[in-house]
Amino acid sequence: MTPKLIEQFERLARRLSELETILSDGEVAADPQRWRVLSREQSEASAIIERFRRYQRCQADQAAARLMLAQEKDPEMLALAQEEVAGSEAEMLRLNAELQAALIPRDPDDERNAFVEIRAGTGGDESGLFAGDLARMYLRFFERQGWKVEIMSESAAELGGYKELVLHVQGQQGDQVYRQLRFESGGHRVQRVPATESQGRIHTSACTVAVMPEPDEAEEVQLNPADLRIDTFRASGAGGQHINKTDSAIRITHLPTGLVAECQDDRSQHRNKAKALAVLGARLRDKDRNERAAKEAATRKSLIGSGDRSDRIRTYNFPQGRLTDHRINLTLYKLGQVMEGDLGDVVQALQAARAAEQLVQLEGGGA
């Protein structure tokens, strides 16, 4: 463990002492919300410092055992000392890994559900077809996770697939939906022979994916009605006779930013409006979040990337059966399984890379 990390833990120990003093104050106990926040911080800090003290005890035990090895002559005592060294070494490695993970800053959005947007990009009809393939891949992955999915908005492409699809993904408590999906934001490129290609030539086309955390009700963007233009229109596409009889579809434009959200999937205009407002609020919050992140990362490019939708983050090469994530130089020759929703290796590799980067920043004092 580096001196920088030890310094972080000692600082946390001092903070724990402060918290215990603050929580003993009767005025704090009289404020339930503040008491809850501070109690949670105290509980988390206490668990980390308990591990750190165990690490220090193991370190002391190992030093004593090594001293015994250097001085002891009795074979039985030497064997005991060797066992102590080996045991404490293994325990220190385990505790060190847990402590490093505990120090990595948590994003409060990690626990949230998410909105997933898939949009066709360059490549014409093939891009729309690829958007459909990406949607199917994600839906299979969500099914594997046991998550619920609701279509918020969809616009079908002429030859199949989608021009745009917006999904609301909801997991159980503790599933960390946004944490698992956040690094899917960006440009997804496909290389393959399109179904529309008669001469067997490989084409390249692209789609964009954007993943946005669902805000808490208390943190939802407050939309000023004066800033909104709400248009109603008749829904298009499949849906039977009713869908063409009423102007139930809703399109909402946020005039200050130009952001647009629409929904036509429900027969109720009221429910379509509620869905469109939810998507628009998430898009506005995502825009604000990305602008803040861009400012904070102005002097240092993130390993994972900003999540900007124009970034080319991944290539799906069908002739070679290869998936490449360009941010972490990950290449997997299991494209068939990935397109069936087997995204676990990709998700875990991206999370591990991000954690490693954050740890380097911590050890460097955030420089």
Q: Are 189 and 204 within 8 A, CB to CB?
A: yes
- 63's tokens: 């030093």
Kindly indicate the confidence band of residue 297, based on its pLDDT and cuts at 50, 70 and 90.
low
Query: Residue 4 above 50 pLDDT?
Result: yes
pLDDT of residue 238: 47
Q: Does domain 3-103 have CATH number 3.20.20.70?
A: no
Q: What CA–CA distance (Å, rounded) separates 204 from 211?
A: 23
The structural domains of the chain, with segments of one domain joined by +, span 3-103, 108-296+305-357
- Those residues whose C-beta lies under 8 Å from the C-beta of residue 72, and which sit 6 or more positions away, are 78, 81
CB atoms within 10 A of CB 145: 17
Q: Do domains 3-103 and 108-296+305-357 have the same CATH topology?
A: no
Kindly indicate the confidence band of residue 313, based on its pLDDT and cuts at 50, 70 and 90.
very high
Using DSSP's 3-state secondary structure scheme, residue 158 falls into coil
Range from 70-74, 185-189, 363-367 that averages highest in pLDDT: 185-189
pLDDT of residue 209: 93
**Average pLDDT of the chain?**
83
Overall pTM > 0.75: no
Query: Residue 260 above 70 pLDDT?
Result: yes
- Residue 95 identity: L
pLDDT of residue 139: 96
Q: What share of the chain is helix, strand, coil (3-state, %, to 5)?
A: 50, 20, 30
Q: Which CATH architecture has domain 108-296+305-357?
A: 2-Layer Sandwich (3.30)
Angle at 77 between CA 71 and CA 81, to 5 degrees: 75
CA distances from 284 to 197, 287, 297 (A): 39, 5, 20
Residue matched to tokens 């030890």: 6
Mean pLDDT of 151-180: 90
